[in-house]
Amino acid sequence: METPKRRAELEKYYDPNSTFGHLRVAQMKRSWKLKNRRELTWWESTYIPTLFSGVWLTSAHFFRNLGLHILHQVGLKKDVRAAATYQYPEEKRPLALRARTRHRLTKREDGTPRCVACMMCETVCPARCIEITAAEHPDPNIEKFPAEFILDLGKCVYCGFCVEVCPEDAIRMDTQRLDIAEYSRESMIYNKERLMNG
């Protein structure tokens, strides 16, 4: 629906070459589409045509998948993929190994955290969700360790910078856990023990 006039209007306000300019242009287009939405006709406003087209679409998928799964059972049409269903949460969908999932703190052989509280992750974190309190380690060769390591998953944006910046490989995002929903904001705040053992 983009006319040359409209285009000129957009570009007058937003330079698409500026930082995030293309995003602003896209936002403008979207709002323009919403504003200029077509009115429904009487026949359409009864929702009968959409109802039937919906039923048609769903049943088409159902019968296609049913037929394909039966054919797969007898060894036919193996090259055509049919939709698969995972029985979540009993059966979990496999994740890529490199997927960024909930954090964990890695441990030394004696079970203490590898973290030396250098606060690189706290510094680099764009959401400022990490808060470390450092303390003196009894072993002078380690020197520093986190007395408390608080990570607020309610704020975390899963960018993975903390993992990338860590000089000690002390924080990883490889737990393969994404089901971190909680009933309160407070329980989204993970402390050192939860990050090491959970």
Partner 1 sequence: MPKLTIDGKEIEVPAGTTIIQAADKLGITIPRYCYHEALPVSGNCRICMVEVEKMPKLQIACYTPVAEGMVVKTTSPKVIDVRKVVLGYLLVNHPLDCPVCDQAGECKLQDYYMEHGQYDSALNDVKVKKEKKAISLGPTVMLDQERCILCTRCVRFTDNISKTHEFGVFDRGDHSQLDLYPGKELNNNYSGNVVDICPVGALTDKDFRFKCRVWYLDKTKSVCPGCSTGCNITVEWDKSRPHRQKKDRVMRLKPRLNPNVNAYWMCDTGRYNYHFIDQNRIVAPQLKNDLISWPQAIDTVVNAVKAVKDPNRIGVIASAQLTNEDLFAVRKLFKDNLKVSNVDFRVPEQPGKSDDFLLKADRNPNTAGASAILAPNDGTTQAIIEKAKKGELDVLYVFGQDLVKLYGKETVAQIRKSTKMFVYQGSNINDTCSYAHLNLPSAVYAEKDGTFTNFQNRVQRISPAFMPLGEAKGDWEILSLLSEKIGPAFPYRKSQDVFKAVTEAVAPFAEMTYEKIADQGLVLRT
Member of 168, 177, 178, 189 binding partner 1 (CB under 8 A)? 168
From 59-67, 97-105, 137-145, 175-183, span contacting partner 1 (CB under 8 A): 137-145
| 152: its two tokens | 């607020």
Member of 9, 143, 164, 182 binding partner 1 (CB under 8 A)? 143
Q: Give the total of residues touching partner 1 (CB under 8 A).
A: 19
Cα gap 104→17, rounded to integer Å: 40
Least gap, CB of 193 to partner 1 (angstroms): 20
Least gap, CB of 132 to partner 1 (angstroms): 10
Cα gap 3→150, rounded to integer Å: 52
Least gap, CB of 159 to partner 1 (angstroms): 17
Member of 29, 72, 144, 177 binding partner 1 (CB under 8 A)? 144
Cβ(173)–Cβ(92) under 8 Å? Answer: no
Least gap, CB of 102 to partner 1 (angstroms): 20
Cα gap 20→172, rounded to integer Å: 30
| 160: its two tokens | 């993975």
Least gap, CB of 119 to partner 1 (angstroms): 5
Q: Does 117 bind partner 1 (CB under 8 A)?
A: yes
Nearer to partner 1, 25 or 120 (CB): 120
Question: Is the peptide bond preceding residue 89 cis, with omega within 30 degrees of 0?
Answer: yes
Cα gap 41→55, rounded to integer Å: 21
Q: Does 135 bind partner 1 (CB under 8 A)?
A: yes
From first CA to last CA, the distance across the chain in angstroms is 51
Cβ(171)–Cβ(121) under 8 Å? Answer: yes
**Token match 């909930």: residue?**
102
Least gap, CB of 124 to partner 1 (angstroms): 11
Q: Does 134 bind partner 1 (CB under 8 A)?
A: yes
Nearer to partner 1, 143 or 193 (CB): 143
Cα gap 28→134, rounded to integer Å: 47
Residues that bind partner 1 (CB under 8 A): 116-120, 122-123, 128, 131, 134-136, 140-144, 167-168
